[in-house]
Chains A and B, each alone.
Chain A
Amino acid sequence: MKGGRFFTFGLVAWMGAGCAGGPAPVVPAGGAPVAGNEPQAGLAPLRRLSHEQYANTIRDLLGVSDPTLADLPVDEGAGGFYSNVIAPISELAIEKYRSAAEVLAARAAANLPALVPCDPEADPVACGEHFIAAFGPRAYRRPLTAAETTRYRALFAVARTQTDFRGAVRAVVQTMLQSIHFLYRFEPPAGSGRVVPIPPYAMASRLSYFLWNTMPDQHLFEAAAANRLSTLEEVGAQAARMVADRRFSDAAVSFHLQWLEVSELAGKEKRKSLHPLWGEETRAAMREETVRFVEDVLKAGDGRLETLLTAPYSIAGGPLLKLYGVANPKPGWQRVEHDPTKRAGLLTQASVMTVHAHWDKSSLVHRGKLIREKLLCEVLPPPPPEVNNTLPPADSKVSTRERFEDHRADVSCAQCHRLIDPLGAPFEMFDAIGNLRTKDGPNPIDSEGELTGTRASDGPVKNAVELARRLATADEVRQCVARQWLRFALGREEAPAEATSLAAALKAFRASDYRIPALVVAIAKTDAFRYQQVSP
């Protein structure tokens, strides 16, 4: 019996579940496409701001930040991205928002001139009204109703008699930050019919949260006010302006960190005795590298998918300079040219390798799963519950390939693992924190793998670099990336009715030679983004 055998399990009645096919969309996404010329779009379930979106919105609305923001409610996920769209809010979460609102309002009110567009000395009542009229629509991301204006004026007046002008401003800010109109993104259906356009102010927010991960800017508010966000051309023009703006990086970085799960770097632990370079500084630097690389490809580079996945350079600093073996590094962050036979783009970055690995060893299965699920958009079910998942103790006499032999030998394992393991094997050249290695203990590294399941890109690969290059030009990966961005935009999985939107976005992606900015502009112009199916 091989030292590596670790699988024993009982019944495999579960086998019938198979290893292909997608699940039903979880978030109510909408029905099937309808025949005719009607726009095809899914549902627009009410979404609450994500943690990042809340922090960025506060930054742009109030110009403050605070450590309190670390204590906001934990985000849910939908479609693979942070999206608070399924679970209703809890009491605890409301109290966390309350806490944040109290602290942030006090901080903002400490600097009245920055917050209030008039001089309270001259006429405090009028200045208060002016403040509400200027601040309110930005906080609510739409004009205030007459009732809301009246309510806030009354609140302001009472607070001013109890405290003073500053106290009244604080009270207004504190209240608005706890309003459902601040915390949620309302997209009220406009007009009649089964599928209706997203109204102008909601569209402004859709564009800003999609492309900048924050609240709308003044241009977007003005376009909404003038009803210039309804036609394809108008939306396209705004989107084009927005991707050319440096704020697009915020959204693109957020997308890539979530897509490749680098956002989970914060929770990883690694065995220091095996990985002396690991530590808090290294963890932070790994995340920073991915952030700067994405920014660089989009701002200074060609913005192409192939570049993101295969570039032989990166932007590194801190302990990464040692990890990447940079000869004679300058101090600080710098462009690093890798050996192009050893590193290629995002997938071989230390951050990605670290997240998709165990605390003391690499992981064939996690890395293969990342590729299969996030780059090829195929869904893998979990292992049957009866399966003994205990990893064998690291036995230096047994190579990795031998340790995972059971995945191949047993037919009930193989039907899923043949899709996973050969995609993870090429990354064996990197250890659990992304160090390049040629040996795993005394065993030489075997990085051979295979891409399967595509129409025209299948075949063996020698290592991670070859795999990355094959993936970068595989049609399935291009489609999958388009799909992932659509999910990011919608905050949920796409509905069957949105297949035409996805196809339209993909067409534009192709025509641009697979530039990310072109893809996201195309997505903003799709029916899926500009319309919503009315919910029963």
Chain B
Amino acid sequence: MNRRRLLRALGISAAAAPLVPALEGWAAAPRQETNKEAKKKAPRRLVLLFSSGGMVPELFWPVAADTGFTLTPGSSLEPLEPHKAELVILNGLPRKMQGVGGAHERAMGALWTGCRLNPGDQFGGGGWPSGPSVDQIIARGLKRETDFASLELGVQPFGPGARGGTMQHMCYAGSNQPIPPEGNPYKLFDRLYGGGQPGSSLSFDQVRAERRSVIDVVKAEIAALDTKVGRGDRLKIEAHLEATRSIERRLASGAKGCEVRMAAGRIDLDANENFPALIKLQTDLLVAALACDRTRVASLQWSRSFSMVRHTWLGNNEGHHTLSHDSGQKPILTAINRWYTEHLAYLLASMKQVREGEGTLLDNSLVVYCNELHTGWDHKPGPTPAVLCGRMGGALATGRYIQYPKDTPHTHNNLLVSLCHAMGVTGVERVGNLYEARGPLPDLFSS
């Protein structure tokens, strides 16, 4: 059996171009390969990608053309030109806001869940969303073949001192069950390739053995709990047990043929100026995790709803949210969205460099790039601006710009159902409770 060791150095500054040797992706990830498996198709991957604040419609959408579409010069999506053939852009899917909660909370909460918020302690009387996000529905619906059912990454997702709320979380395991994104690349690296704490004298195997023994105790204690625990509390303990078991599975698998090296040195994770470097680091870690088949469902959250990132590298010193509220700031808002799109282009380019079978990682994946708002200055969530990238193993005919008419019966929630079906979770008929609509979007994916 051919175990290839993948080595990749991750740069830590935006200026340093990382070494990107052509990576062998899923085909090289170590597993017991039989002849039958070797001929199997590469698995499909889903990546949910987010940036906030809405967009400027007149400087965002492409122009429909015979060959699909053209990207307008100066528009937010223009940096995707090299990847035009891999895109499907959706315009016009209604997405509504309803029920308790502030606008940002409702928009972020519904983005991937299609759900309204439960009553809660956060702004406007809202709490957490009342249902799971599509990535979690898929992760639970798939047969578990990877170390991680899903991976949630973020780039400065939390502001310092803030109470954890719906604006900062886009992924949910269920009603009232936020999944926090990991914004710390060094911790993420430890999660993925875990060798314990820096400076520890313990060997890798010792660390794993200790961690497994702790889990044994945790499981034993949960089993010994008094049955008088009330229903609400039981749910929390069960969640704790389930999470513990998931971690235990990872410790047991020990798939270590896929190594990633991280350059030495740490950057200040909270500094505004390091936002670009962090996007790059997290993107690189995400691609490596997918290439090494550590997970097939991932999400990357750039900042959060009500982002206060100051894009000083674009010559602007105002918080993103403040700018997005001002319809007079369209040029800088477009420039900011363009900048995020450049990073999407980098992600796609990186995925294209990972060979899988006859194609690339991107051929077998789908990156769904969405904003929680349509336009920021009026807090409108819909229609959804969605950019789908990748061929999803052949299920997505790319190079299209789909405009839904004003009276379309289809909604954002139907898109979420489509994503489930495209990932092989075909039993799902409805995602979310903001719409009654069932079924996937017709004519989006072929199978």
Contact = CB atoms under 8 A, between A and B. Distances in A.
A20 interface: no
Interface string B226-269: 10111111011111100110110000000000000000000000
A319 interface: no
Given A28-B232, A189-B228, A267-B308, A390 B377 contact: yes
Nearest to A25: B119
Mostly, the A contact residues are loop
Given A92-B179, A267-B161, A382 B235 contact: no
Given A26-B120, A77-B121, A86-B120, 14 more contacts: A77-B164, A78-B121, A87-B176, A87-B178, A98-B214, A178-B217, A179-B217, A266-B161, A381-B125, A382-B101, A385-B106, A390-B328, A535-B231, A536-B231
Interface in A384-431: 385-386, 388-391, 393
Contacts of B360: none
B84 to A, nearest CB: 34
Interface string B286-321: 000000000000000000000010100000011100
Contacts of A99: 187, 190, 197
A180 B162 contact: no
A79 interface: yes
Interface size grouping (class) on chain A:
35 or more
B164 A359 contact: no
Contacts of A271: 317
Contacts of B73: none
A155 interface: yes
Nearest to B324: A390
Given A78-B121, A385-B97, A180 B240 contact: yes
A88 B310 contact: no
Interface string A154-197: 01001000000000000100110011110010001100000000
Contacts of A266: 159-161
A122 interface: no
A90 interface: yes
Interface string B99-140: 011110010000000000011111111011000000000000
9 pairs of A and B residues whose beta carbons are closest in the complex: A535-B230, A266-B161, A88-B239, A382-B124, A74-B164, A267-B159, A266-B160, A46-B233, A77-B163
A89 B218 CA distance: 14
A76 B379 contact: no
Given A26-B120, A86-B176, A179-B218, A76 B240 contact: no
A48 to B, nearest CB: 8
A18 B221 CA distance: 49
What is the size category of the interface that chain B forms with chain A?
35 or more
Contacts of A174: 210, 214
A161 to B, nearest CB: 13
Interface string B329-349: 000000000000000000000
A188 B228 contact: yes
Contacts of A534: 230
A155 B224 contact: no
Interface in A38-53: 43, 45-46
Contacts of B240: 88-89, 94, 180
A406 B221 CA distance: 60
A73 B180 contact: yes
Contacts of B173: 88, 90
B179 A382 contact: no
A393 B326 CA distance: 9
Contacts of A188: 226, 228-229
A264 B184 CA distance: 21
Contacts of B128: 86-87
A175 B218 CA distance: 8
Interface in B179-196: 179-180, 182, 184, 187, 190-191, 196
Nearest to A493: B121
A382 B123 contact: yes
Contact of B236 (A26, A27, A46, A80): A46
A61 interface: no
A71 B119 CA distance: 28
Contacts of B200: 102, 106
A263 B325 contact: no
B246 A91 contact: yes
B159 A45 contact: no
Interface string B374-390: 00011110000000000
Question: Of residues B102, B222, B243, which shows the largest number of chain A Cβ atoms within 10 Å of its Cβ?
Answer: B243
B191 A88 contact: no
Nearest to A48: B236
A526 to B, nearest CB: 21
B160 A175 contact: no
A219 interface: no
A534 B101 CA distance: 30
A440 interface: no
Contact of B125 (A96, A181, A359, A379): A379
Residue from the set A87, A89, A535 with the largest chain B CB neighbour count within 10 Å: A87
Nearest to A189: B228
